[in-house]
Amino acid sequence: MSDLESLRSKALEEISKAETLQKLHEVKAKYLGRKGLVTEALKRIREIPPEERRNYGKKVNELKEALETALREKEEALKKKEVEKALASEWEDLTVPLENTVGSLHPITLTLRRIVDVFRGMGFTVEEGPEIELEEYNFDMLRIPPDHPARDMQDTFYVNKEGYLLRTHTSPVQIRTMLKRKPPIQMVAPGKVYRRDDDPTHSPMFHQVEGLVVNETANFRHMKYVIEEFLKEFFETDLPVRFRASFFPFTEPSAEVDIGCVICGMKGCRVCKGTGWLEVMGCGMVHPYVLEACGVDTDLYQGFAFGMGVERLAMLLFGIDNIKVFYENDVRFLRQFS
């Protein structure tokens, strides 16, 4: 028993004196490793007289627990010390001007500005809204029922049980705009949105631009013209565009918009899956329910809406096949846009 007490004192002293994580790991191996002194003491239990084994085993286990606790606390203290040392030595004055250093805009920022500039040139205003949104604006007033799959926990990031969530699209900005402004309305809403996606073509946080036009003469033909002109201006080419019938709860009729593949020139490739077409956005005539929920007189006004993913358009514009490179901050990738 006296040997165990002596071992305990010596081990705690060495742990206390360890000044680096490497030294601490050496002390840990010396006492608690496979051939450590405490491990060997535990193996000697067979040599202890039967009447003393229980007490001896208890003392060895107490010693082991005490050393493990001391090692853990010392390791945390050393790690904290290393962080403080690194912060002190690596500190830089960010206010000092750098010579011959030119920054560049991120490709998502470039794409977002390009989209907004095109719509501004077409007479659209730019509206913004909160990223933490009310469920009422994100779903209810957009005619998305309580049992719709998009409202499930696996698709939506809910902030709490009080009806707050991270917006899943920028459509709530359209709702907020119609609630505070009377028609005519011609606006786009750029911003971040959040969904539970994470694969090579999706991200849990991404960017959208949605547009809304509400006036006395808005119609499907007008919407097609706006979208076709936007896509031609954005890609700077007179590329083919087609509209396919689709479904969205907040528009009727609804359509998906495809463009001729800008990667292969519609010959068929891996990006367009051999079809020669790429889906770029959804659109449709705003459902009367949505307009009425926002206080818009549907006897006088009608509207159309459309929405697009910024990352999707950036991938097509710059020929990128993995959405994750936008968020990895690889300098080699970002330098290509300087």
Q: Are residues 83 and 113 in the same domain?
A: no
Q: Is residue 240 part of a domain?
A: yes
Q: Are residues 70 and 113 in the same domain?
A: no
Q: Is residue 117 part of a domain?
A: yes
Q: Are residues 156 and 303 in the same domain?
A: yes
Q: Is residue 322 part of a domain?
A: yes
Answer yes or no: are the C-beta atoms of 285 and 223 closer than 8 Å.
Answer: yes
CB burial of 93-112 (b: ≥16 within 10 Å; e: otherwise) equals eeeeeeeeeeeeeebbeebb
Q: Are residues 149 and 37 in the same domain?
A: no
Last residue of a domain, one of 36, 62, 90: 90
Last residue of a domain, one of 90, 116, 139: 90
pLDDT tens for the chain, 338 residues long, are 677 788 888 988 899 999 898 999 999 888 888 888 888 888 887 888 888 878 888 888 888 898 999 999 999 999 998 888 888 887 777 787 767 666 778 999 999 999 999 999 999 999 999 999 999 999 999 988 888 777 776 688 888 878 899 999 999 999 999 999 999 999 999 999 998 865 555 678 899 999 999 999 999 999 999 999 999 999 998 889 999 999 999 999 999 999 998 878 888 887 788 888 989 999 999 999 999 999 999 999 999 999 999 998 998 898 887 778 888 888 888 888 87
Q: Are residues 146 and 174 in the same domain?
A: yes
Q: Write out the two tokens for 36.
A: 């450590």
Q: Is residue 99 part of a domain?
A: no
Q: In terms of DSSP bridges, do strands 125-126 and 205-215 run parallel, antiparallel, or are they unpaired?
A: unpaired
Number of structural domains, the chain? 2
Q: Are residues 233 and 317 in the same domain?
A: yes
Q: Taking the CA atoms of the chain, what radius of gyration do you get in angstroms?
A: 32
Q: Are residues 10 and 141 in the same domain?
A: no
For residue 261, what are the CA distances in angstroms to 181, 226, 242, 268, 311? Answer: 39, 20, 12, 8, 16
CA distance 325 to 241: 28
Q: Are residues 312 and 249 in the same domain?
A: yes
Q: Is residue 102 part of a domain?
A: no
Last residue of a domain, one of 64, 90, 116: 90
Q: Are residues 18 and 133 in the same domain?
A: no
Q: Is residue 310 part of a domain?
A: yes
Identify the CATH number of the domain in which residue 163 sits.
Answer: 3.30.930.10
User: Domain limits at 59?
Assistant: 2-90
Q: Are residues 235 and 192 in the same domain?
A: yes
Q: Is residue 98 part of a domain?
A: no
Q: Is residue 96 part of a domain?
A: no
Q: Are residues 295 and 148 in the same domain?
A: yes
pTM above 0.85, yes or no: no
Q: Are residues 86 and 112 in the same domain?
A: no
